[in-house]
Amino acid sequence: MKIEVRHYGAGGRPVAQRVELPAGSRMHDLLARLGLPEAEVGFLLVNQGDGSFDRVLQDGDRVTIIPPIGGG
């Protein structure tokens, strides 16, 4: 299945990519494929809804990843 990923840093323009994953893959599989440690994930959305690390992804899902760069 194909997952659309948008990974934000600062500046409003994400790094966008399409990732091919086996059916039944979960969010943490996607993050592992991206080489992104959990510590660098602040906030996850799937198709504008809340995402979680163990969520099962579906073909065509749009995943937004925002690092922990908010207030302290």
Positions in the binding site for another protein (CB under 8 A): 6, 8-12, 14, 38-45, 47-54, 62, 64, 66-72
At its nearest, how many Å lie between another protein and the CB of residue 9?
5
Identify which of residues 22 and 70 has a Cβ nearer to another protein in the complex.
Answer: 70
Q: Is 65 exposed, middle or buried (0-12, 13-18, 19+ CB in 10 A)?
A: buried
At its nearest, how many Å lie between another protein and the CB of residue 63?
9
Cβ(56)–Cβ(24) below 8 Å:
yes
Cβ(56)–Cβ(63) below 8 Å:
no
At its nearest, how many Å lie between another protein and the CB of residue 22?
23
